[in-house]
Structure 1
Amino acid sequence: MTTKETIDLGEFQFLSGETIPSLEVAYETYGEFEGDNAVLICHALTGSAHVARRPDADDATAGQARAWWGDVVGPGKAIDTTEYYVVCANVPGSCYGTTGPASTNPETGEPYGTDFPPVTIGDWTRAQRRLLDALGVGRLHAVVGGSVGGMNVLDWLRRYPDDVDRAAGVATAARLDAQCLALDTVARRAITSDPDWNGGHYYGGPEPEDGLARARQIGHIMYLSKSSMARKFGRRSAGRETVHESPPDPAAAFFPYREVESYLDYQAEKFTDRFDANSYLYLTRAMDDFDLSAGYESDADALAAFEGELLLLSFTGDWHFTVEQAEVVAEAAREADVDAAHHVVDSDHGHDAFLVEPEKVGPPLSELLENGLSGRAITDTNPETKDEDDSFAPVHTSLFSK
């Protein structure tokens, strides 16, 4: 059973203190609710509620707007929708059905634009809690998320620790490092310096597509690793026939238009067709702002009230959310006496590995949901807690095979 719905949660006060009269949340559910089998999945930065394939869905949509974890979530998949009641909700501030900057302000009849309140990951969690209340879901069997969705998971553990039995943070961290903060800053400046941005009130007129395109290209560079880019593109020319009709500068007609340029241009073009520039500003701000220890003495203190089990998955080639950053969270959990394991996946695919290598991500998640941290597909890299007889060796796949 699958559903695609939008629910009006009524008046919503953001953590900034600002209030909107109506928060609509777009969500999808998969499977049947049996009281203790609910799994909440938190999507990544530009993702949607469409986490798994539905018979009535158009999965031709580009990027994470399509069934972005369709090889992990579904009947017979790692997160098996014949066993679990899966809920995925689009977050406030996005543009895939949940109220955000592009939505109409009922008080003015015009799009909010940048009059929309600042959004935090805490607001995402609070909106998800209210949605689950409306669905009749109390305690979650598990909450799972990747990238900034993993930060969303960690926020659940500090904000509603009694509502979660098991949790998995995939390719995530307690906070972004300075390099990623800097790159996000440049991406946002690309949008706000586009003349068509118009202070965020561009609806009904030209949209800041060039700025959003540059921001997305910066993001894609962050999501890939050096080795995966070298393997896929190298320094190869894409061929004269692929050069854009309008070269970016006069000298471009003389020099080769490289495959890596072609890839970035293609991804940017697809993204500007499906995403809102203001939403990109708001969501990256929410990600940059997140700090697990905010309001607490430490990361361990933030996790101390959680009595369930926590699995961290990280990828060796990911420099956006590194193995070391995941281990910081795992160590904080152990310091707080939380049952935790950190499963490191050998991969050179960069941050995108959590999306494109389901055969590596799926088994540990399946074992966590079914058996907890005792699952045989979960290996803890901490020498004090790992089982020497426990091993898991997934195989590699091509980053661009799908």
Structure 2
Amino acid sequence: MNLIFLILGVTIRSDAGVGGYYSNLRYSVADTITRDTTVPSTELRSFWTVYLNHERVDYTVQSENNLQFSNTALTDWLNLRFSIPLNSSLTFNGATENELSCYHKLLSLFQDSVWNKSYVNALLKLDLDYELNKDFTITGGNEIEHQRYFSPDSAFYNYYLNRTMLDLDIQFGDYLTLTWESKLHRLWAQTQPQHNYTEYILYLNGNSYFLRNWTLQFDNTFSRRIYPARNRSYADLNPSLFINRNLGSLLGISLRENIRFLWFDETTAIYQNQLTNRLELELEIQPGSAFAFRITPQIENLRSLNQTSSQDYQEISLSLGVELLRATRIWLSLDDRFGIRRYLLADSAFQSGYRFNEFTLTGSWKILSIHHQELTLETMLNITPEWHQEAIDNLAALSSSVELKYRW
């Protein structure tokens, strides 16, 4: 059978495994009966994924099918992609992505999640790539997505979403690359017309390598979304800047600046014109080949432009991280971010100042690797407690996952 696939130019590989996910949100409720509430979510699942790749001179076909059974749902993802060169400069690409999720009550004793809506999602995408030369590429395309719930309601509604796009990629030698994207999105929700919208998106990205050991990257995204209601329609401008300097193999310095302007056509107590600014400086120290250490101070501010509101805050934090490098079979990354957020008005329990500590651990262990076969264990743990001025407002969130995967 493998010889037949080899002759036909088909390669097949598979993943199979088991995994689990658990999250827990614990918070207090100002009530004489219920003083403490826990919202857990647990998922135990098994999965099987098959990848197929077929390459010929005149076309390429790739497919991926993932079947997953958990204590809450039976889900299947089927993705198919193809590429057909029309001539030396023009390529026709297509893709379809489909998902079917059916929630069940076969293991009701082990179900604690509130997500129980069965649905089907289908997406079709077609585009053309025109490569004028190795430094200039134009891509134009369209995709349409349909989401349908078996039992829709006001929160989970059926819709059609159409996305039209035109992209330009330009490279100026080895020193500068530019990407420009323009998109038009339209969503139709027949039974929930208040959710219909039209959205225009413009995106510009540039990467510069003019100086040795220096990297300069800038992004700017502008979007305009229009709903039937003026108080939900808005414009969003999000520029960002990234500068990196490598001081040899020992030290790297990175600076990130992210700004967001948000304007609503009509402001309300909830929808306010806002300015958000985040400044981050990261120092990465690699004293040897085994470990890398990260030190990242960060400042973030949110301000309402019309007047001070209950959403306005100031936040300052420090993140300390360590990453295990070049281990034969083990990869490990640990980050601990702690800081203070202060709301300017502090007029409610949801907008009161607090201290926080966000601990994140991610890792993987390649248990077995023989020829084209691998057995891998991957895990993630995130713990985020908050300490407010009033103890009753304290909150603690936990999420964790573990996955054992066999690939052949």
Larger % of helix: which? 1
Larger % of strand: which? 2
* TM-score w.r.t. length of structure 2: 0.26
* TM-score w.r.t. length of structure 1: 0.26
Higher CA-based Rg: 2
